[in-house]
Amino acid sequence: MALAYIGLGSNLADPQAQIIAALKQLALLEHCLISDVSSLYFSRPMGPQDQPDYMNAVVAIETSLSPIELLEQLQSIENKAGRIRKDNRWGARILDLDILLYDQQMINTERLTVPHYGLKLREFVLLPLAEIAKELTLPDGDSVKILAQQIEKNGLKVHSKLR
């Protein structure tokens, strides 16, 4: 079984309910077992600021799915939630599920980049990840704990515990 970390985000259609529903869908996936879930966090949107704030969380799952199979399952959950993929990369969305890490693998294909390209730069990813895996070392040797201590918080706030 591989250990994968998934970032969850939403800023439309009751974001907290969207993230809770996504967690329930993740728990139902065959060949996947949720092993930990961060708190919910409020974060400012990246890009255009004329959209609602986001809610974010990170979940750790043990899985026997390949990275691409996991990506396909995550995209299916997004689609069922009503996600519409647009060219606007930083726009509002009902649900966003990203593979942040998949064991210590480094993957760079047209469909998937792991570790996630924004992992070290986004407080709304790094701080929830550090909450559940602060002793984790990234494939490049960087410490999640140290990265989390150094990153600017940008108004990120813990909203509530999910566990």
Overall size of the chain counted in residues: 163
List own/partner pairs for 35-38 with CB under 8 A and 24 or more apart: 35/3, 35/60, 35/61, 35/62, 36/60, 36/132, 36/133, 36/163, 37/132, 37/162, 37/163, 38/128, 38/129, 38/131, 38/132, 38/162
Q: Which of 96, 111, 140, 142 is catalytic?
A: 96
Q: Which of 87, 98, 111, 163 is catalytic?
A: 98
Query: What's the token pair of residue 81?
Result: 């939630």
Please say if 44 is a catalytic residue. no
Q: Which of 14, 36, 93, 111 is catalytic?
A: 93
Q: Which of 14, 50, 83, 111 is catalytic?
A: 83
Please say if 96 is a catalytic residue. yes
Please say if 14 is a catalytic residue. no
Active site residues: 83, 93, 96, 98
